[in-house]
Every structure is written in C-alpha cells, then in structure tokens.
A = this chain, B = another copy of it.
Amino acid sequence: MSKIFVDACLGKETPYTPVWMMRQAGRYLPEYMAVRAKAGDFLNLCHNPTMAAEVTLQPVDIVGVDAAIMFSDILVIPDEMGMDLSFVKGEGPKFSDPIKSQEDLDRLLGGKEAADRLTYVYETIKIVREQLADDKALIGFTGAPWTLATYMIEGQGTKTYNICKKMMYTNPELLHNILAKVTEIVKYYLESQIEAGVDVVQIFDSWAAAIEPSKYDEFSWKYMVEIADYIKAKYPHIPIIMFPKGVAAFVEQGLVYGNFDVFGVDWGTPMALAKEKLGEKYVLQGNMEPCRLYSKEATKACVSSLAETMKDGRHIFNLGHGILPDVPVENAKYFVKLCQELSRRD
C-alpha cells in the first residue's frame, strides 16, 4: 500500500500534504508519561523495545500524524561505543569521561561492532512495524556526527561549545577522526534500521548552528553527505531527511549538494526564503514555531500561511523544532487536522 508520507518525501503528488511533529512521542501526552513512569528512567525506556514501541505508536493513534518516528535518543550511539551515558534530572545527558585525545577515541568501539549493539532499537522498529497501519510511515533516525561529537567532547550539553571548538581550531585532526568514526557507525546504524523496517530516515544535526558558516561543510555537512551516499547506494527507495537546525538561511553558499530528499526547515527561517533557496533541490519539511501550539488562533494563522506558501507541493508539514511538554494535546490534534485539511488537493 502506498504511503502518503513516503510519496511526499520523494516529491510525488499526494492527496494532501502529510504531517508529523518532532518529539511527537513525548511529555505533552499523558499516555507517554504513564509508560515513562513505568519504565523508571529515560534510558530504560529507550532500552525496552515493548515500551519504546508503545510510545512510538501513541501519537499516530491519539494525534493522527501521518508518520511514526521510532522512540529512542541520539546518544545511544556513543553509549554503545563505550562512553558511559546517564541522564541527570534537570541537567540532561552526561558522559563521565569525555574524549580529550586520540587514545580516548581509540578505546571506543567503532563500525559494525558498535552498530550491532543497538539491538533494542531494531527490536523496537520490528514491533512498531507489526502494529502500525499500512498507510502510515515509520521514520528511523540518527544524530549527525557533528551533533553527537559535541556531547562526546563536552561530556554534556553546552551553551558555548568552547571545548569542541577549541579542538576545531587547534586540533582539527582529532575532531575529524572522531567525526569519521561516528560516521562509520551511523552508516551501519541506519542500514540496520532500514533492514528492521523503517520507511524513511532523518538525520538530526541539532547543533549545526554552533559551527560558523565557513566551517560547516568541512565539519558536518560532508559527513552527512557520505552517510546519505552509502544509504542511497543500497536503498535508493528510502527517503533521507536532513534537519540541520539554524543554517537554512546561508545554506545556498555551497551546501546545496548531497543525496538527501528532504530538507527540514527550522522555525527561525522564513519558509518562503527556504523555498527560494532550497525548494528546487529538496522537498521542504516544517516549520511552525512550536510555541504557536499554545494558541489555536496562532496555529491557524501559521498553517494557513504555510499552506499558501507551499501550495505547489514538495512539502511536509512539521513544527520547526520539537513540541514542548506543556502544550495542550487538543491543540496538537487541531494542528495535525488543519494541516491535512488545508492542503487537500482532491
């Protein structure tokens, strides 16, 4: 059965423009909170395929989105490489022993060996696949090598990225070695996700904007291109979505290359500008400001405007960043329904 979401990613005409929301399996849903409470901590939930599958499916049933995205965290990769990941309440993720040297990097698992340890992710996908309706798509994902590297080097989230950027400007070779090692794992990781049953993959470069424009290609984009080339050579029918947050406005300056199907536009970039610069090469995804979900009126104004700007298609509705935990579920449902209705072409 043809899936509207997959067709839209490939630029085919669809009866309406499909919609999903980043972080749609998340804390705004009471049903998610119930499973999360049962799981104990966040990593337990990632490691438990039955529960992870359950929360993956919730937004499809409750909110009516056109695609599910497997529930997991981007940091399971460095965790399985041998870095000790924990989530400290109120502080976010922490690695006890961040990478400072080539020796630190060499101690970590790489390649297929690391990717093969992520069995709980592949199990989650298989369970979701069995339960998901035939006309809905399942999205797999990974963090971009750069975004993963920031945590592996800083040991946690950061405002200034000064440790990674000190490395970028004083020891770029080590940074490239880290990025290359992660890239290798990501290739196998996405491949295994596809083999387990995902229809589409998204690469999250959440911290893209932490790199100055003139260095972005060298330290992030080109690694994602390498990953896309690897996947497309084996699975040309699987669409690849790229979400490099905060860089769309200058992306024309040399980044309009690479084997991606969809470019995720963050809410900080006007969609009309993204369309002008990127719309010919990529299908565009996005980009309602997530805080508009606090108000139905603000939601309607934005969805109407996006539907008008993107009326020629080559579009997937989404938020321009993750949904926030205190948004009313009712408003999320309203957003999804409105996107599907206002873009209807039949």
A-side residues, CB < 8 A to B, are 160-162, 165-166, 168-170, 209, 212-214, 246, 249-250, 253, 267-270, 273, 289, 291-292, 294-295, 297-298, 320, 324, 326
Rounded to whole Å, the gap between the CB of A23 and the closest CB of chain B is 12
On chain B, the residues within 8 Å of A214 by CB distance are 270
Indicate if the CB atoms of A292 and B169 lie closer than 8 Å: yes
Indicate if the CB atoms of A169 and B270 lie closer than 8 Å: no
Indicate if the CB atoms of B267 and A212 lie closer than 8 Å: yes
On chain B, the residues within 8 Å of A292 by CB distance are 169
Closest 9 CB pairs of A and B: A249-B249, A165-B291, A169-B298, A169-B295, A212-B289, A166-B294, A213-B270, A170-B295, A169-B294
**Chain B residue, CB-CB nearest to A160:** B324
Which of A168, A170, A268 has the most C-beta atoms of chain B within 10 angstroms of its own C-beta? Answer: A268
Indicate if the CB atoms of A169 and B269 lie closer than 8 Å: no
Rounded to whole Å, the gap between the CB of A160 and the closest CB of chain B is 6
A168 in complex: contacting residue of B160, B212, B291, B324, CB < 8 Å: B291
Indicate if the CB atoms of A270 and B291 lie closer than 8 Å: no
Listed A/B pairs (14) with beta-carbon separation below 8 Å? A160-B291, A160-B324, A162-B291, A165-B291, A166-B294, A169-B292, A170-B294, A212-B268, A212-B320, A213-B270, A214-B270, A246-B268, A250-B270, A253-B273
Q: How far apart sit A273 and B253, CA to CA, in the bound complex (Å)? A: 9
Q: How far apart sit A162 and B170, CA to CA, in the bound complex (Å)? A: 37
Rounded to whole Å, the gap between the CB of A332 and the closest CB of chain B is 15
**Chain B residue, CB-CB nearest to A168:** B291
Rounded to whole Å, the gap between the CB of A225 and the closest CB of chain B is 20
On chain B, the residues within 8 Å of A165 by CB distance are 289, 291, 294
A209 in complex: contacting residue of B160, B250, B268, B273, CB < 8 Å: B268
Q: How far apart sit A267 and B161, CA to CA, in the bound complex (Å)? A: 14
Q: How far apart sit A250 and B249, CA to CA, in the bound complex (Å)? A: 7
Indicate if the CB atoms of A268 and B213 lie closer than 8 Å: yes
Given contacts A169-B298, A246-B268, contact A162 B213 (CB under 8 A): no
Indicate if the CB atoms of B267 and A250 lie closer than 8 Å: no
**Chain B residue, CB-CB nearest to A215:** B289
Q: How far apart sit A292 and B270, CA to CA, in the bound complex (Å)? A: 30
Rounded to whole Å, the gap between the CB of A217 and the closest CB of chain B is 13
Rounded to whole Å, the gap between the CB of A63 and the closest CB of chain B is 19
Q: How far apart sit A268 and B292, CA to CA, in the bound complex (Å)? A: 25
On chain B, the residues within 8 Å of A268 by CB distance are 209, 212-213, 246
Contacts A162-B324, A165-B291, A253-B273 known; list 19 others, CB within 8 Å.
Answer: A162-B326, A166-B291, A168-B291, A169-B291, A169-B292, A169-B294, A169-B295, A169-B297, A169-B298, A170-B298, A209-B268, A212-B267, A212-B268, A212-B289, A213-B269, A246-B268, A249-B250, A250-B273, A253-B270
Q: How far apart sit A246 and B168, CA to CA, in the bound complex (Å)? A: 22
On chain B, the residues within 8 Å of A160 by CB distance are 291, 324
Q: How far apart sit A161 and B267, CA to CA, in the bound complex (Å)? A: 14
Q: How far apart sit A160 and B267, CA to CA, in the bound complex (Å)? A: 13
